[in-house]
Structure 1
Amino acid sequence: MSDIVNPTRTPAFEARLKKRYAAERRFKALGLSAIVFSVAVLVFLLATMLGNGIGGFQRTVFEVPVDLSRMGLAISETENEASAVRALQTQGLPEIVQFAAEEALGPEGAAEINSEAWRAVARAIIADPTLAQGTNTFQLITSEDLASAYAGDGQAALQPLAQELAERGLLHDAFDPGFLARSDATDPQLVGIWGALKGSIYTMIVTLLLAFPVGVLAALYLEEYAPRNRWTDIIEVSINNLAAVPSIIFGLLGLAVFLAIFPGYRSAPLIGGMTLALMTMPVIVISGRNAIKAVPPSIRDGALAIGASPVQVVFHHVLPLALPGILTGTIIGMARALGETAPLLLIGMRAFVATPPDGFTDNATVLPMQIFLWSDQIDRGFVERTSAAIIVLLIFLLLMNGIAIYLRNKFEKKW
């Protein structure tokens, strides 16, 4: 048995070995630094959004005792909420609330509460009709001017009043659950995000239903069935170019084609989803082709060897194994579509929409567009509402991506 010869460790060899180890340590340090920097930027972004946006989920309220017994308010138990609110309005509830504000703040008190403040009292009476028989303290929404004064801005003449009420505990910020249930408004005290959120949901449904099946089928055809010739090469290059086209170009296409075919559906989720589907489809096709190409040839050969037809090979063996990769591309495409505003600007989804859409053909806006519109407002109250809307958008994006990742892991198979 021959002896093992150890290499001679010359000074030059030792120096090269130290340099190699040092380069490896530097590479690891650079990689770790990149990860730490990325996490720090993400934490800074989230902390900034949370710090600015928490106030957007609140609104300024004024605690006022309201004597409801003097008017003999009454509602029918068989009425729904909308009918009961109208009945209370007819019986003079808004005037009662304004009178209570004047008693608490003086002759100008009615101007310091929001014109829709009485609706909170109406909902409380509907929930508990016994409240209409006596005097009760309600949290009334303040006017925009008083809310700005409480925040330290706005009219200087109102700031002493706001400070006095705050010291007495009558003026404060309260959680606004209606922010997630209302639609857009001109008053930051009354705005809500539900209309834009619902519009985004409808738009993403249309986008997914159009882009995913067409993109997957196109990827299957190009990878499994298309002949290798010049025309196929032209199609592949065109798809790669479409994935890099600025999104506003797709908006021009939607304006010129879809709105010409459906002129009555301007600003509808149907048109928005069709436009975003064109933008998302190339991403799904490219990721789908790469995922299909990554399936080992042995899978195809084994399926053919046991008598499967070419179509069965593709749909029973290749596609299930490629589905996790296809879903990864779908996540990227849908996340990009969710945050788009430029193409939707051109098809009219910039409109002021005060009621949530009830279907795919109703007028609607989307979360990024709502954020854009609110950021253009000069009122300070819209600054916090804008940050709150960004938080809602991020949560919606995380939920959508979480569902896609769950499906990807569920369908993932090892071979």
Structure 2
Amino acid sequence: MSDTLVPGAPVGGQATPAPAAAPTDWTTDAMQRRIRRRYAKERRFRLLGLGAVIGSAGFLAFLLVTMLANGLGGFVRTEVALPIDFPAIALDVTPEQLSGRGADLALASAGLQDSVEAAALAAFGEQPVDVISDNGWLAVRRAIKADPSILSRTAVIDVPVSPALERAAKGDADAAAESVYARLQADGRVNSGFNRDFLVSADSTDPTAVGIWGAFKGSLLTMAVTFLIAFPIGVLSAVYLEEYAAKNRWTDLIEVSINNLAAVPSIIFGLLGLAVFLNFAGLPRSAPIVGGLTLALMITPVIVIASRNAIKAVPPSIRDAALGIGASRVQVVFHHVLPLALPGIMTGTIIGMARALGETAPLLLIGMRAFIASPPTGLADPATVLPVQIFLWSDQVDAGFVEKTSAAIIVLLVFLLAMNAIAVYLRNRFETRW
């Protein structure tokens, strides 16, 4: 009868060691500790990710709430009812002059501004602060142009109050302005309403009369030039590099150069635009055409990189199938590859255009920080853009520009969201699934 070996039993006078636990034995204490540590790390990582999302959302909410709290007042204007005895003023202007395009010049030459100031002095008397805005006569001019018959009678016209009374209406003024505003309010002569002029006027030295239309129109013209130049050049460059160019050291050098250009600080492109478009080409300073060309240089590398990645993502089988049924290379690219890559191309374009929309430094260098009192009518007219306008207003010492700065930021954010929404719609509209 043979002996049976028992683990740990002595064999030949020596104890046999017990077998060690297998490395994959999940029931051991060491393995359980490792599992608990791993799960703890996963929980901490998940909590960190959740905290990062909540923190980002909190910062965004704080930004939006701050901008809305400070900027919504910029869309509201306080006005005072000003009685004007036009027959007593006797403006030297004829109805024929008011019906033509020279009505503004005729009313200005007739001394309307001085007459409105005299009417304010007669209506409100001497006050420690101005009652009406320096540009209040413009509201009277609009009323006369809308109804020339008021020149033959006494009319009560709502005109913007002075910056001091505007701050008093919003609870941020000295005692003298608060006192004057309280008396006018008690007499029922002041009212507040939507500030339409903020959306349809251009820049001004008076915070009660400033508007964003000039800068908004400049942004539209600049973005149009940027898109019309950067989009076709960027997409066609990506098509050539991915579909036609030979893979050699020259294309590798071009690819490295494009990647480096995408990371160049924007102010460098401003210097390039100053040297090439202004000093060398002699294009007009502060014009949307120059701003658009400069920003197009800046975002073209971004569009090229995004377009190349989108084209690479199209399965090779699509190309092979098209070539197999007799399509030419051009037909393969424009009938099959580009339609499938369009969503990715649109995403890259959105990123590039959003970056261009918020740029300030390169446009400052080409002179788009000038005071522009009238909206541009063409690509060669002097203009500014919304980010630069915000920068200029934030540098003003008058407290009335603070809320106008925040209001302009709100307009810029809405403009950006609208542009992105249109691009997302177009991307989804032309998206093709395979």
After TM superposition, the score normalised by the length of structure 1 is 0.89
1:39 aligns with 2:57: yes
1:186 aligned to 184, 205, 208, which one?
205
Kept in 2: contact 1:81–1:126 (CA 8 A): no
Task: Return the offset for 1:221.
Answer: 1.2
- Residue 53 of structure 1 corresponds to which residue in structure 2? 71
2:124 aligned to 77, 100, 105, which one?
105
Distance 1:80 1:315 in 2: 55
Question: What does 1:68-217 correspond to in 2, within 5 Å?
Answer: 68-70=86-88, 76=95, 80=99, 82-89=101-108, 93-107=112-126, 111-129=130-148, 131-148=150-167, 150-151=169-170, 157-217=176-236
- Residue 316 of structure 1 corresponds to which residue in structure 2? 335
Distance 2:25 2:248 in 1: 58
Kept in 2: contact 1:75–1:88 (CA 8 A): no
SS in 1 for 2:80: strand
Task: Return the offset for 1:241.
Answer: 0.5
Q: Cα gap change, 1:385/1:10 in structure 2, threshold over 3 Å: closer, same or farther?
A: same
Structure with max Cα Rg: 2
Task: Return the offset for 1:39.
Answer: 1.9
1:271 aligns with 2:294: no
Kept in 2: contact 1:99–1:110 (CA 8 A): no
SS in 1 for 2:433: coil
Kept in 1: contact 2:274–2:366 (CA 8 A): yes
> How big is each residue's C-alpha offset from its partner over 1:154-186, in whole Å with a ceiling of 9 and x where there is no partner?
665444223322343434543210111111111
Question: What does 1:234-313 correspond to in 2, within 5 Å?
Answer: 234-313=253-332
Task: Return the offset for 1:117.
Answer: 1.5
Distance 1:375 1:44 in 2: 20
Task: Return the offset for 1:44.
Answer: 1.3
Task: Return the offset for 1:80.
Answer: 4.5
Q: Cα gap change, 1:81/1:38 in structure 2, threshold over 3 Å: closer, same or farther?
A: farther
> How big is each residue's C-alpha offset from its partner over 1:74-96, in whole Å with a ceiling of 9 and x where there is no partner?
86489547544445555665455
Distance 1:92 1:276 in 2: 45
Identify the range of structure 1 (31-40 vs 399-408) with the bigger mean alpha-carbon deviation: 31-40
Identify the range of structure 1 (384-393 vs 117-126) with the bigger mean alpha-carbon deviation: 117-126
Unmatched tracts of structure 1, length 5 or more: 1-6
Identify the range of structure 1 (397-406 vs 64-73) with the bigger mean alpha-carbon deviation: 64-73
SS in 1 for 2:78: strand
SS in 2 for 1:112: coil
Q: Cα gap change, 1:120/1:110 in structure 2, threshold over 3 Å: closer, same or farther?
A: farther
Distance 1:109 1:306 in 2: 86
User: CA RMSD for the aligned pairs?
Assistant: 2.7
Kept in 2: contact 1:68–1:96 (CA 8 A): no
Task: Return the offset for 1:109.
Answer: 9.2
Q: Cα gap change, 1:93/1:265 in structure 2, threshold over 3 Å: closer, same or farther?
A: closer
> How big is each residue's C-alpha offset from its partner over 1:26-67, in whole Å with a ceiling of 9 and x where there is no partner?
444433333222222211111110110011122332222333
Identify the range of structure 1 (67-76 vs 395-404) with the bigger mean alpha-carbon deviation: 67-76
1:10 aligns with 2:27: yes
Distance 1:71 1:374 in 2: 37
Distance 2:116 2:350 in 1: 50
Distance 1:90 1:245 in 2: 52
Q: Cα gap change, 1:361/1:63 in structure 2, threshold over 3 Å: closer, same or farther?
A: same
> How big is each residue's C-alpha offset from its partner over 1:337-361, in whole Å with a ceiling of 9 and x where there is no partner?
1111111111111111111111111
Distance 2:314 2:373 in 1: 50
- Residue 387 of structure 1 corresponds to which residue in structure 2? 406
- Residue 225 of structure 1 corresponds to which residue in structure 2? 244
- Residue 348 of structure 2 corresponds to which residue in structure 1? 329
Distance 2:130 2:54 in 1: 52
Task: Return the offset for 1:230.
Answer: 1.1
Task: Return the offset for 1:374.
Answer: 0.6
1:65 aligns with 2:74: no
